Structure 1
Amino acid sequence: MGVDEAKRIIMDHFAGAARRFGFNELYGYIYGVLFLAREPMSLGEIAEATGYSLSHVSTALKFMERIGLVVRIKKPGDKKAYFRATKLLREWRQAAYYGKIMEDIQQTRANLERALKELEGEEGEEAESIRESITLVMRRNALAERIIRFLIEHEDEEVLERLLNCLESGENR
């Protein structure tokens, strides 16, 4: 029961992570199956292992391939496509978590820009107050975007550790 239970725990972890990041839990189950697999798996094998239909798994794999969570592999002499998970959890986190944050940041910027455009030509205390609020949020939003881009682009743990040490020390470096 130990191996099966360990596999179930890992699969449930990835399914829960997918839900927390706003994805369908199927993405987590597929990632878990592929993460644990010793060899790349076919669409049919993945569907069987997860208990989901071929069409659901196929749709999920296309999305997961697009965001870099799985890699499609062709075997010589075999017409089937096989898949393997990217083994770095950082990639899962970047694609799921950082991607969602970046999407929200970009949507926030677009909406704030639209709101500012609506205020063009408007005068008065209320319009000016709204402009000031929007400008403040846009500056903070731009900082958040820079931070997330930094996290995505700097996978080197040493760089991130130095950044954290600098921030935690309270000193300017």
Structure 2
Amino acid sequence: MRTIRKEFEALVYRGIKSHGLDELSSKLFATLYSHPDLLTLEELSEKTGYSFSAVSAAMKKLADLHLVEKTKKAGSKKLYFSIQKDMLKLTLDQVKYTNELMVAPAIKKLPGIIERCKKSKSEESEKTLRIIEQYYREMIALDLILTNVVELTDQIQEKRNKE
């Protein structure tokens, strides 16, 4: 069973690393994903072979990215970590997080920036305007894509829940 878990962890590791996470964060993600129980920082350090402080810093980053959940057990001072094991939900949460932090604010603020740029008399304002307008079009397209991903994922989850 240990070999199967390690093979599965390697697969998850490669998949998550392809999204730009560093080696340690990817290993921690894969370890948590493949493990059925909550794990402490000490256990994660032992399982990955990295120092406690390195694991602690990486787990803070993963928590900030909403990729891991941390909890405390009654009567214990230790933090316990877990991960959402429903990849559809995890991916959907990341899509929503990206939309909330990047796309929605850009779509809201860019029209005002574009208008101010159009009124500018600077030599470089025309070139800057083209860059900003292109970025705005990309944000509109990305918003459409993310909205469709959310809707499709919701439909798939509803179907799965009925089965």
Closer, same or farther: CA 50–95 of 1 in aligned 2, 3 Å: farther
Cα pair 1:102 1:145 within 8 Å, conserved: no
- Residue in 2 aligned with 1:157? 155
- 1:130 offset after TM fit, Å? 6.8
Contact 1:116 1:134 in 2 (8 A): no
* Mapped pair 1:15 → 2:13: yes
Among residues 29, 32, 41, which one is paired with 1:31 in the alignment? 29
Cα distance in 2 for partners of 1:159, 1:80 equals 34
Q: Which moved more, 1:66-75 or 1:145-154?
A: 145-154
Helix, strand or coil for the counterpart of 1:87? coil
Determine the structure 2 residue equivalent to 1:74. Answer: 72
Query: Deviation at 1:28?
Result: 2.1
Is 1:51 matched with 2:49? yes
RMSD over equivalenced CA pairs, Å: 3.9
Give the distance between the partners of 2:77 and 2:130, measured in 1 at CA. 60
75, 82, 85: which one pairs with 2:83?
A: 85
Counterpart selection for 1:42 from 22, 40, 43: 40
Percent identity over the alignment is 20
Unaligned runs of 5+ in 2: none
In the alignment, the residues of structure 2 paired with residue 139 and residue 112 of structure 1 have an alpha-carbon distance, to the nearest angstrom, of 11
Amino acid at match of 1:120: K
When residues 159 and 87 of structure 1 are mapped into structure 2, their CA distance, relative to the original with a 3 A threshold, is closer
Q: Counterpart of 1:156 in 2: which secondary structure?
A: helix
- Per the alignment, residue 138 of structure 1 pairs with 136
Q: Give the match's secondary structure for 2:55.
A: helix
Question: Residue in 2 aligned with 1:121?
Answer: 120
SS of the equivalent of 1:72 reads strand
Q: How many residues align?
A: 157
From the CA coordinates, give the structure whose radius of gyration is larger. Answer: 1
Corresponding residue for residue 167 of structure 1: none
Shift of 1:44: 0.2
Q: Deviations over 1:79-111 (max 9, x none)?
A: 111111111112443466775688675798779
Q: Which runs of 5+ in 1 are unaligned?
A: 162-173
Structure 1 residues 33 and 120, CA, compared in 2 at 3 Å: closer, same or farther? same
Give me the whole-angstrom Cα distance separating, in 2, the residues matched to 1:59 and 1:112. Answer: 38
User: TM-score, normalised on structure 1?
Assistant: 0.66
